[in-house]
Structure 1
Amino acid sequence: MNNRQWKAIYNNDRSYDGNFYYALSTTKTVCRPSCTSRTPNPKNVSIFRDVNTAIQQGFRPCNRCKPDHLEWRGYKEELVEKAKQYIDHHYEMNVTLTRLSNVLQKNSYHIQRSFKEVVGITPLHYLHMVRIYKAKKLLLNHFYSITDVGIEVGYSDSANFSTKFKEFENLTPREFRKLFLK
């Protein structure tokens, strides 16, 4: 192991992912340089050019950084993607951090921080964005009342729905409907 490789491991540098992999003799795992597990003792590290060679020599892929999955983008990105999928499919329900925490089996504060770091907004803000997007589609159908649209997308009452809609679109649901249904 050279200094450049050790520096990449120590700093969890993603730019070195795919250039080399490191294996730990203590845990018998192979990791990407960007793995966020505890910094290893350099005495226990072996360097490999590819993950398959390490696996053939008896090391197992790390569960955290998944070096055997080329398309894998990262632990936090994977968690956020699962949270977004849950919100996308359950937006009409009362989605809370506690519910996300139970579904994803992760700490709610960790979900909140990861979501904000990866997406730039909170899970709640994302939930409202999804709800407003769905509401805009429903408002274009004149068969639904504004109250029905609000309830359909997960708001408990029309006042709450109208407030959030105006916050995101700078129009009330009624103004939006009038503007687009002439």
Structure 2
Amino acid sequence: MTQTTTDRLNQQRWQQVQQRDATADGSFIYAVITTGVYCRPSCPSRHAKAENLRFFDNASDARAAGFRPCLRCKPDEHPHAARQARITRLCRLIEQAEQTPTLQQLADISGLSRWHLQREFQRETGLTPREYARAVRQQRLQQQLSQASTATNAAFAAGFGSTSHFYAEVASELGMPAADFRQGGNKQQIGFAIGPCPLGRVLVARSELGICSILLGDDDQLLEADLRTRFPKAQCTPDSGLGQQLNAVVALIESPHTTQQLPLDIRGTAFQRRVWQALRAIPPGQTRSYAELAEAMGSPSAARAVAGACAANPLAIAVPCHRIVRSDGSLSGYRWGVERKRALLQREAQDPPDE
């Protein structure tokens, strides 16, 4: 490597250190002559003068030159492990804060730029910091609802700054109109219908916002009990007017390559909704592993969280979590039974009928 090439590389590395570029972690190490320590590029420590820096291709070379590892950024750890630890710390901070920290505050704490923090956080959790904070607040709200005397008290205890902000988000967070929530959710009406399908029995439930649940099983009473467990504060009643929606779901099972327009009321955390949207993008006849779905979402480290979201899916068939298989292609678990999953995939593997 010529002197000019080395100078250019060192200049590039110096700029990455100045930017605390987390994407450069693992590609080189820098050492500070005045302190005798070596660090990863994203180290949040105070910047040293350029003339006091030395660059190495790896930590071994830095140690051989007499430098010791930084106790703050722990450059001897794998970059992924360090990133996970950093994001885990920020997650705990968000969860414990009375008021949601701003992106700039989180960036200052982590020593990253806001852009790098946003990218790194989403890569590890599948959510932006704002979406994660919103999911934490929703979880708090669900807990407070069973304890607070009024919905307003529950909203403030969960971290909402104002009632107007809270009611503006009720429909997307909990899937009910604000007027219903002011009554504690007890007035929410959910109609349901149960009928036969090629997989046994199917229950279709609808709220004011759309189909909120599709359940598969063999026993009508168990299906109804499952629905009531999912919506303990709603009034769930049989609805003979759901025949069209029930037939549409059965048609999706019988002819998976056809298009059925189903108005869906998809309820869940921000991350769960992202996973379910990604599932709906998988064409009939194709499958993905949890890791592949996480990669497609731009969150390759979130395979385990993706699996959890698939297991929580309340909309069988419409949100096709049955298209998720193990990395070797074998069948993984399925909320409504592996045999049903096999039957669905076999139907989808058949060529669509000619027009």
- Aligned twin of 2:59: 51
Matches of 1:40 and 1:179, distance apart in 2: 64
The answer on 1:68 being equivalent to 2:76 is yes
Matched to 1:114, the amino acid is L
SS of equivalent to 1:30: strand
Q: From the superposition, tell whether residues 129 and 60 of structure 1 become closer, same or farther in structure 2 (CA, over 3 Å).
A: farther
Q: Within 5 A, what are the aligned runs for 1:128-167?
A: 128-132=137-141, 134-135=142-143, 149-151=145-147, 156-160=148-152, 161=154, 167=170
SS of equivalent to 1:46: strand
Q: Within 5 A, what are the aligned runs for 1:33-182?
A: 33-70=41-78, 71-73=81-83, 77-84=87-94, 87=96, 96-97=98-99, 113-114=105-106, 118=121, 119-121=128-130, 125-132=134-141, 134-135=142-143, 149-151=145-147, 156-160=148-152, 161=154, 167=170, 168-171=173-176, 172=181, 173-174=185-186, 175=188, 177-178=233-234
Which is worse superposed, 168-177 or 9-18? 168-177
Please report how far the alpha carbon of residue 26 of structure 1 lies from its aligned counterpart in structure 2 after TM superposition. Answer: 0.8
Which is worse superposed, 18-27 or 43-52? 43-52
Matched to 1:68, the amino acid is D
- Aligned twin of 1:91: none
SS of equivalent to 2:82: coil
Matched to 1:150, the amino acid is S
Does the Cα contact within 8 Å between 2:145 and 2:151 map onto a contact in 1? Answer: no
Matched to 1:178, the amino acid is A
Does the Cα contact within 8 Å between 1:12 and 1:33 map onto a contact in 2? Answer: yes
- Aligned twin of 1:20: 28
Matches of 1:53 and 1:36, distance apart in 2: 22
Please report how far the alpha carbon of residue 82 of structure 1 lies from its aligned counterpart in structure 2 after TM superposition. Answer: 2.5
Matches of 2:174 and 2:68, distance apart in 1: 50
Q: From the superposition, tell whether residues 15 and 122 of structure 1 become closer, same or farther in structure 2 (CA, over 3 Å).
A: closer
State the TM-score, normalizing by the size of structure 2: 0.34
1:41-62: CA deviations, max 9, x gaps?
A: 1221121221133234442322
Matches of 2:87 and 2:175, distance apart in 1: 31
Does the Cα contact within 8 Å between 1:112 and 1:122 map onto a contact in 2? Answer: no
Q: From the superposition, tell whether residues 23 and 16 of structure 1 become closer, same or farther in structure 2 (CA, over 3 Å).
A: same
- Aligned twin of 2:37: 29
SS of equivalent to 2:234: helix
Please report how far the alpha carbon of residue 111 of structure 1 lies from its aligned counterpart in structure 2 after TM superposition. Answer: 8.8
Matches of 1:49 and 1:11, distance apart in 2: 18
Unaligned stretches of 5+ in structure 1?
Answer: 88-94, 98-107, 136-147
Please report how far the alpha carbon of residue 9 of structure 1 lies from its aligned counterpart in structure 2 after TM superposition. Answer: 1.8
Tell me: higher relative CO, structure 1 or 2? Use CA pairs within 8 A at least 6 residues apart.
1
Matched to 2:174, the amino acid is E
Does the Cα contact within 8 Å between 2:20 and 2:44 map onto a contact in 1? Answer: yes
Does the Cα contact within 8 Å between 1:112 and 1:123 map onto a contact in 2? Answer: no
Q: From the superposition, tell whether residues 80 and 19 of structure 1 become closer, same or farther in structure 2 (CA, over 3 Å).
A: same
- Aligned twin of 1:145: none
Q: Look at both structures and tell me which one has the larger radius of gyration over its CA atoms.
A: 2
Does the Cα contact within 8 Å between 2:103 and 2:129 map onto a contact in 1? Answer: no
SS of equivalent to 1:19: coil
Choose between structure 1 and 2: higher helix proportion. Answer: 1
Does the Cα contact within 8 Å between 1:23 and 1:54 map onto a contact in 2? Answer: yes
Q: How high is the sequence identity, in percent, across the aligned residues?
A: 24
